[in-house]
Structure 1
Amino acid sequence: MLTRTSRRTPARPEPGREYVSARGLVVRLGGRAVVDGVDLTVAAGEVLALVGPNGAGKSTLLAALAADLPVGGGEVRIDGRPANDWSAPELALRRAVLPQSAALSFPFTVAEVVRMGRAPWAGTPAQDEDEPTVTAAMAATEVARFSERPFSDLSGGERARVALARVLAQRAPLLLLDEPTAALDLRHQELVLRICRERAAAGDAVVVVLHDLGLASAYADRAAVLHGGRIAAQGPPAEVFEAGLLSRIYRQPVEVVEHPRTGRPLVIPVRDR
């Protein structure tokens, strides 16, 4: 029988407090520096978008921030301590990770997959919150209506939302999301980014890898533009989404205009027609 342990929910960080950071971060894969000298901080209460072309190092940087990849240089800190100083159970209480794709070998139902997000809290007083937390996560991601279906029977977009529900159920104060909108239709892309904003408003630090610069502009407080494993620019989208920079990095001419209603930048490819 599981007995309750003395582990407690990590204190929710104060808004604006640095919750995760990288200093001089280097990650090598296959002998190549995929992330090379990155300095980055993310505060509680903000959404940071990692953007850039394919192969820029976005997913590798996200995995390093999660302490899921060994670091070849520099340091990652989470909740005030070097990431490697946390044990695996302690780390699971502080950060939740959504990978690009989710695959399961056994025929778990949707509800069972979402409930996996509560595993770090087993045997703690927070275990009492499992069912309402799972229910709320499924409602937020609009997967409750097929909660008893096997995960393997779902479409790609449905699986993506179930995987996000699992991350939300974990209730960690740092969310690291790798392309959470890639398989989603327009409605659910907006839904996912609204959830990101809601979690930030509740005090979480959110880091999200995005290819859609329009979504990054509309929902992120800051964006870090990666190119060749380095950060080419970071700051509010209105400052860093500059036509010359983006045209050079993406090797595609773009123009940047102001949204007529929100004032946020819109990045438009330059086309012949």
Structure 2
Amino acid sequence: MRLLRSWPVSPGAASVGDVLVEAEGLHVRFGARAVLAGVDLVARAGEVVALVGPNGAGKSTLLAALAADVPAAEGAVRVFGRPVAEWTAAELALRRAVLPQAAALSFPFTVADVVRMGRAPHVTATPLEDGRAVADAMAATEVTDFAARPFSALSGGERARVALARVLAQRAPLLLLDEPTAALDLKHQELVLRLCRERARHGEAVVVVLHDLALAAAYAHRVVILRSGRVAADGPPAEVFEDGLLSEVYGHPVEVFPHPRTGAVVVGPKRPA
């Protein structure tokens, strides 16, 4: 008797404002060490949420918990309104795409091969749909010209853009990006954050870990400032980026001022005149 396989069903289109991922009273421990302690976070369709804070604040751990890659010791993480444990890995892969800090491959895959890996969750897609998604993602991240090159032969910045292309090709409505600009030059840092805003305009939710406060101020709809595993502030950059708070969180003098041409918030370390 032949058994019929049941494929995971893709989520329907989200409406702007729908909660796609949330953490409630989230605690994460590594052994005896508490890394996150009572974190609450919500990310909605149509917004870019930046996680910022000093090294060791818990940004990457929070992102990993939202992705269901790190278990909660206490509290809850919900994706599309359901606890993450209630989704299968295949169902989660259709709902959230994750970009880790580093991308390492042991085999000589080409750039196109790596980007095509993002289509793995879409088992019912046609070759035409897969090809279009891969081509669009490569064009958006400006890696089309070296599609045939081995991934291992790329520079750090090129690898970072290819890894992002893989995430975009997955076409999940929730993007979880861990320091996507760390290895990039100025042009491509701006490109990546513009892509984040573009995905939000198309009704997706983007949660991105950033060290560059200026980028967070320029592109994030909301900023969550983490300090020692707790949320120190959560809100629009213009409201939560304040000299005193940032100076305290980072342990270094920080100044916040309006851009002389646009009036947008500008953040930087305070240096002697």
Q: TM-score range by the shorter chain?
A: over 0.9
Alignment-mate amino acid for residue 88 of structure 1? A
Structure 1 partner of 2:199: 199
Structure 2 partner of 1:91: 92
Structure 1 partner of 2:31: 30
Shift of residue 254, structure 1, vs aligned partner: 1.3
Q: Distance in 1 between matches of 2:182 and 2:63?
A: 16
Shift of residue 128, structure 1, vs aligned partner: 4.3
Alignment-mate amino acid for residue 149 of structure 1? R
Which runs of 4 or more aligned residues in structure 1 lie more than 6 Å from their structure 2 counterparts after TM superposition? none
1:143 aligns with 2:143: yes
State TM-score, norm by structure 1. 0.96
Alignment-mate amino acid for residue 111 of structure 2? V
Show CA shifts across 1:58-98 (max 9, x none): 00000000000011000000011111100000000000000
- What are the residue-to-residue correspondences of 1:165-184 with 2, within 5 Å? 165-184=165-184
Structure 2 partner of 1:235: 235
Contact 2:78 2:84 in 1 (8 A): yes
Q: Distance in 2 between matches of 1:128 and 1:33?
A: 47
Structure 2 partner of 1:159: 159
Specify whether residues 125 and 111 from structure 1 end up closer, same or farther in structure 2 by C-alpha distance, changes over 3 A only: closer
Q: Distance in 2 between matches of 1:268 and 1:104?
A: 36
Show CA shifts across 1:221-250 (max 9, x none): 000000000000010000000000000010
Q: Secondary structure at the match of 1:252?
A: coil
Q: Secondary structure at the match of 2:256?
A: strand
Structure 1 partner of 2:245: 245
Q: Distance in 2 between matches of 1:236 and 1:8?
A: 34
Shift of residue 260, structure 1, vs aligned partner: 2.1
Alignment-mate amino acid for residue 253 of structure 2? P
Q: Distance in 2 between matches of 1:267 and 1:39?
A: 25
Contact 1:121 1:127 in 2 (8 A): no
Q: Distance in 2 between matches of 1:138 and 1:9?
A: 23
Q: Distance in 2 between matches of 1:135 and 1:263?
A: 37
Shift of residue 261, structure 1, vs aligned partner: 2.7
Shift of residue 5, structure 1, vs aligned partner: 5.3
Q: Distance in 2 between matches of 1:131 and 1:125?
A: 10
Alignment-mate amino acid for residue 184 of structure 1? L
Q: Distance in 2 between matches of 1:67 and 1:18?
A: 16
Shift of residue 269, structure 1, vs aligned partner: 1.4
Q: Distance in 2 between matches of 1:155 and 1:28?
A: 35
Contact 1:143 1:162 in 2 (8 A): yes
Structure 1 partner of 2:16: 15
Alignment-mate amino acid for residue 74 of structure 1? G
**Once the two structures are aligned, what percentage of the paired residues are identical?**
69
Q: Secondary structure at the match of 1:134?
A: helix
State TM-score, norm by structure 2. 0.96
Contact 1:27 1:33 in 2 (8 A): yes
Structure 2 partner of 1:266: 266
Q: Distance in 2 between matches of 1:131 and 1:4?
A: 24
Shift of residue 263, structure 1, vs aligned partner: 2.1
- What are the residue-to-residue correspondences of 1:39-50 with 2, within 5 Å? 39-50=40-51
Q: Distance in 2 between matches of 1:4 and 1:214?
A: 49
Q: Distance in 1 between matches of 2:135 and 2:259?
A: 37
Structure 2 partner of 1:103: 104
CA RMSD of aligned residues (A): 1.3
Shift of residue 130, structure 1, vs aligned partner: 0.3
Query: Greater CA deviation, 253-262 or 195-204?
Result: 253-262
Contact 1:24 1:37 in 2 (8 A): yes
Q: Distance in 1 between matches of 2:215 and 2:262?
A: 13
Shift of residue 4, structure 1, vs aligned partner: 8.4
Contact 2:8 2:90 in 1 (8 A): no
Contact 1:9 1:126 in 2 (8 A): no
Q: Secondary structure at the match of 1:175?
A: strand
